[in-house]
Amino acid sequence: MSVDLLDRYYAAFNRGDAPAMLELLTPDVVHEPSQGAVRQGKAAFAEFLDHMNRCYREAVIDPVFLLSADGTRAAAEFMLEGEYLETDGDLPPAAGQRYRLRVGAFFELREGRIARVSNHYNLADWLAQVG
């Protein structure tokens, strides 16, 4: 079930289908981004997805999943291919720059849904690719 849940999560991500992603989360989901403040709840995660879909077009490539024996924790490693569409805050100006990053993601799973998402990537690498 857990690998299927993560497969569906990233398939929805690759389609840019925020409603399908949100359906896979617990109401009190915790989002720990690589940079920035922790968000809690589906509404905060939905706002984040809206912002990201406006500024970036991204695709998860070849994810590999690791699961804890009890099924409550999972991890994913993948390449993220993207295009920087709209300037994001005080980051460098967007001009359609393409980038490719290795990403690690960690999950807490509860009752068949994702209760925590923690993403980690090398910001300096991204800045070098888009700057």
**What predicted TM-score, i.e. pTM, was given to this entire model?**
0.94
Candidates 3.90.730.10, 3.40.190.290, 3.10.450.50, 3.40.630.30; CATH matching 2-130: 3.10.450.50
| Whether pLDDT at 103 is above 70 | yes
- In sequence order, the 6+-apart residues with CB closer than 8 A to the CB of 100 are 79, 80, 81, 82, 129
Q: Cα–Cα distances in Å, from 85 out to 64, 97, 117, 127?
A: 27, 8, 24, 14
| Whether pLDDT at 6 is above 80 | yes
Percent of the chain with pLDDT over 90: 96
Report the distance separating Cα 21 and Cα 47, nearest Å.
Answer: 13
Sheet of strand 25-32: strand arrangement:
39-40, 25-32, 113-120, 98-110, 73-84, 56-67
Q: Are strands 98-110 and 113-120 parallel, antiparallel or unpaired?
A: antiparallel
- Identity of residue 31: H
Task: Give the model's pLDDT for residue 2.
Answer: 83
| Whether pLDDT at 112 is above 80 | yes
Length reported for the chain: 131
